[in-house]
Structures are given as C-alpha cells and as structure tokens.
Amino acid sequence: MKRSGLIVLGIIALLVIWVISTRNGLATAQTGIDGEWGKVENQYQRKANMYDNLVRVVKGAAKNEDTTLIKIVQMRSRIQEVKPDQNNPQQLAQADKQYSDLGRAMLNINIEAYPTLQATNLFKDLQTQVEGTENRVTVALGDWNNAITAYNTKLVRFPSNLIANLFGYTKKDNFKAEDGAKDKKIDL
C-alpha cells in the first residue's frame, strides 16, 4: 500500500512539475512577443526622430520647395499621432503604412525636380539612414512575427494546448501588410 501511494504521489508530482513547466514556457513565449514588439516600437521611434531631422534638413535646403516640404511635414505629423497597439492589426498596418509612405517619399524625391535637396550631402546621408531604418523595421517586424509563430505553435501543440486552454492563453495575430501593399506606388 505504501509503495503504490508513493507511486501515485510521484505521478502527481510529475504532473504538477509538467503543468508548471508548460505554463512557464507559455508565459516566456508571451513575454518574448512583448519584447519583440518593444524592438518594433524602438525602430518606429528611431524613424520618427530621423524624420524630424529630415524635416529640418529639408527646411534648410529647400526654401523654394514649399510643396515638398508641406507634404513631408503633413506626413510626419500624421505619424506622430499614431500610437499603434500591438494587439490591433488594423492600427499596426495603418502605422506601418504611414511610416513606409514617408520613408518612400524621402527616398523618391526626384533629382530634377528638387536639385537643391539632392545636392545636400546631409540629405543624401539621411536618405541612406531612412533606407537602413526601413530595413531595421522589417527585421524587427519579422522577429516579432517569429515570436508570435513560436507562441501560437505552443498553443496548438498537444499536450501544451491543454495547459494553454486551462490558463486562458489565446492566439496572437501576426503582422500582415495591407491588401495590395506589394503593388502600391507612392504619390507625392
């Protein structure tokens, strides 16, 4: 009787350890998603700061380029109003679109139409930084998506799905570009 009782206690202890371990793995995965989102927000902040610098450069180098300046300033002000929620894919897509539109606007300024801007070495350097920042955002969003995929995989795999359901863990949505984004052209 004592031996069977010890076996039952051992099995219960193993189950408790397994539940705790699985629960901790899910919590770690969920926290990883938040950490990766922080990296995305960091890159968005970097972009916003860089665009402030771009506006200052454009203002200094483009006294006669009022139309371009107005468009860039308007795009920048819209970006500063956006505070996307990582749990709201529509807000995230809208913010990413606005950031991308402004980045493409900076990169696509026509040399013939705006020779003063293109001749400014600082502006050229900042254009390169914009391109690099766009790449950083893409990488950060990719890492965030990977963290979400790893987390969602834990939610559906047996037997961790039992613990996920027991503790109320729910599926997270990956970042998705807006419909038609790959064919989108920028108009200034």
Query: In terms of Cα–Cα distance, which of 186, 175, 187 is closest to 87?
Result: 175
The CATH number for 60's domain is: 1.20.1440.20
pLDDT at 66: 61
Per-residue pLDDT tens for 117-175? 555 666 677 778 778 888 888 888 888 888 999 888 988 888 888 888 888 988 888 77
In DSSP notation, 63-120 reads TT-HHHHHHHHHHHHHHHH----TT-HHHHHHHHHHHHHHHHHHHT--TTT-HHHHH-
Do 78 and 98 contact (CB within 8 A), yes or no?
yes
Q: Do the domain assignments include residue 180?
A: no
Burial state string for 27-65 with b = 16 or more CB within 10 A and e = fewer than 16: eebbebbeebbebbbebbebbeebbeebbebbeebbeeb
Per-residue pLDDT tens for 65-96? 566 667 677 777 776 676 777 777 777 777 77
Q: Do the domain assignments include residue 124?
A: yes
Counted domains in the chain: 1
The CA dihedral of 115, 119, 124, 125, to the nearest 10 degrees, is -160
Q: Do the domain assignments include residue 138?
A: yes
Q: Do the domain assignments include residue 181?
A: no
How far apart (Å, rounded) are the C-alpha atoms in residues 170 and 151? 10
- pLDDT tier at 12 (50, 70, 90 boundaries)? very high
Q: Do the domain assignments include residue 123?
A: yes
Q: How many CB atoms lie within 10 A of CB 112?
A: 6
Domain coverage including residue 142: 2-172
More confident residue, 166 or 184: 166
Query: In terms of Cα–Cα distance, which of 133, 82, 147, 77 is closest to 104?
Result: 133
Q: Do the domain assignments include residue 42?
A: yes
Q: Do the domain assignments include residue 159?
A: yes
Q: Do the domain assignments include residue 187?
A: no
